[in-house]
Amino acid sequence: MSDLSTPPSVSRSAELFNRAQRVLPGGVSRNTVLRAPHPAYAAFGEGCRITDLDGVSRLDFSNNMASLIHGHAHPRIVEAVREQAGRGTAFMMATEAEVRYAEHLCSRSPSFDKLRFVNSGTEALMVALKAARAFTARPKIAKVEGAYHGGYDYAEVSQSPNPQTWGSIDQPNSVPLAHGTPASALDDVVVLPFNDVERSIRRLDEHKSELACVLLDLMPHRVGLNPADPEFVHALRDWTARNGVLLVLDEVITFRTEYGGLQQRYGLTPDLTALGKVIGGGFPVGAVAGRSEVLDLMNPSGERFLFPHSGTFSANPISMEAGLAAMEMFDHDAVSRLNGLAQRAIDGISNAARETGARACVTGAGSMFRVHMKEHPPRHFREAFLDPDENRRLKTLLDHLFEQGFVMINTCTATLSTPMTESDIDSLVRALRSGFEKISTMD
């Protein structure tokens, strides 16, 4: 690993960023890779490490926003892709790989009668919401305040509200993310306060004849990466069942937490589940799984063909072979081992925060966790929202970790990969401890 304290005199990443700004808005194709004064550009990844163009190697706890369950360039996945690429990358025909992979994923959860592959988590959520509307003949959706569900107009409502826009906790506003979002989209989204049964049920009752579905992430990242209270989850499931409304789970990120997804922990049977990220083995993918009678609305030969759907790269054999290889390796033992490593990290970070007197805590479940610049774990988005001081301390901590050789998601969230060891976890805990100590000297 290169010496992080002595970067090269001329940064290749800096040079490349100068070129990028002439042809890419902001110099990038996704804002999440930006950092001051310039992003680091990856040269290659191997296992749980990334080496940048300047030769600096870092432990990767972001894993491309939770999508790389086996880290970088896993030999079995590389070989599966190499073999398939030699046979062709996409066809105007179905492939056996699509069938084999669908069979495997459906075997992982009792709520997956059938599924349809798409190309991203965002697309999976779009398809799920459209299917819910087609099935119920109702226009509106309900979702949790602050929850991220991709880039669809309806799904991104109230993704990033703030104290000036979010309204009262009893009647949260539908807040647009992008300027120019149609008012009609905002009007068709009912915003719910996370973990608040009484207020949420009251909101749902107000719109029950108009709602197609309730969209729920059981551990929404931007809401605080804190698992939902079981009481809240089962109250929503009971309400949807009573009122002919579909329950749509977003397990794009959380499917990694258990062999059958986070819904397995809750003993929950949703109507539809949106999947993505880890099921692609490092390649673009999404899927909608769930009840046959809902998914069969996309079947041109079915009795109720109400939702025509297709996609040029849906179920392309590269993603299918990579995803199948990845998920076959992510068996019960691998899930248990990785979850154990995450618990080791959570315990270590909690101890470090307590022993250093840091105003910090950690939340998470499965193989993911998030460090908050708060004394107590947030239970909903408004508690997770960062004030200016918390934002300053978080930036200091993230910069410290990057300088020490750790790549994190920019909320100070970590998602683990199977190449990681206890030594890697302990190294991160030590770096966080020194980061907490650094911040305490600044306060």
DSSP calls for 385-421:
PPPHHHHHHHHHHHHHHHHHTEE-BTTTEEE--TT--
pLDDT value of residue 10:
77
pLDDT value of residue 7:
53
- Residue that has been written with the tokens 């200091």 in this structure: 396
Domain spans of the chain?
Answer: 12-69+332-442, 75-329
443 touches 402 (CB < 8 A): no
User: What is the distance between the alpha carbons of residues 244 and 148, in angstroms, rounded to a whole number?
Assistant: 25
Q: Which pairs from 135-138 meet CB under 8 Å and 24+ separation? A: 135/212, 135/246, 135/293, 135/294, 135/297, 135/306, 136/211, 136/212, 136/213, 136/244, 136/245, 136/246, 138/209, 138/210, 138/211, 138/212, 138/245
pLDDT value of residue 28:
86
Segment-wise mean pLDDT, segments of 10 residues, the chain, 443 residues: 53 92 91 88 96 96 97 98 98 97 98 98 98 98 98 96 97 96 97 98 98 98 97 98 98 98 98 98 98 98 95 97 98 98 98 95 98 96 96 96 96 98 98 95 74
State the pTM of this model: 0.95
User: What is the distance between the alpha carbons of residues 279 and 283, in angstroms, rounded to a whole number?
Assistant: 9
pLDDT value of residue 160:
96
pLDDT in tens, 105-153: 999 999 999 999 999 999 999 999 999 999 999 999 999 999 999 999 9
pLDDT value of residue 9:
65
317 touches 283 (CB < 8 A): no
> Rounded to 5, what percent of the chain is helix, strand, coil?
45, 15, 40
Cβ neighbours of residue 321 closer than 8 Å, sequence gap 6 or more: 80, 81, 83, 84, 97, 281
**Could you write out the DSSP letters of every residue in 326-344?**
HHHHS-HHHHHHHHHHHHH
* Residue 84 CB neighbour total at 10 angstroms: 19
* Topology of the domain covering 12-69+332-442: Aspartate Aminotransferase, domain 1 (3.90.1150)
pLDDT value of residue 3:
47
pLDDT value of residue 89:
97
pLDDT value of residue 35:
85
User: What is the distance between the alpha carbons of residues 363 and 224, in angstroms, rounded to a whole number?
Assistant: 7
pLDDT value of residue 4:
55
34, two tokens: 């930006």
Q: Among residues 25, 29, 52, which one has the least CA distance to residue 40?
A: 52
pLDDT in tens, 246-272: 999 999 999 999 999 999 999 999 999
CATH number of 75-329: 3.40.640.10
Q: Among residues 418, 212, 438, which one has the least CA distance to residue 326?
A: 418
pLDDT value of residue 238:
98
DSSP type of residue 280? G
pLDDT value of residue 1:
42
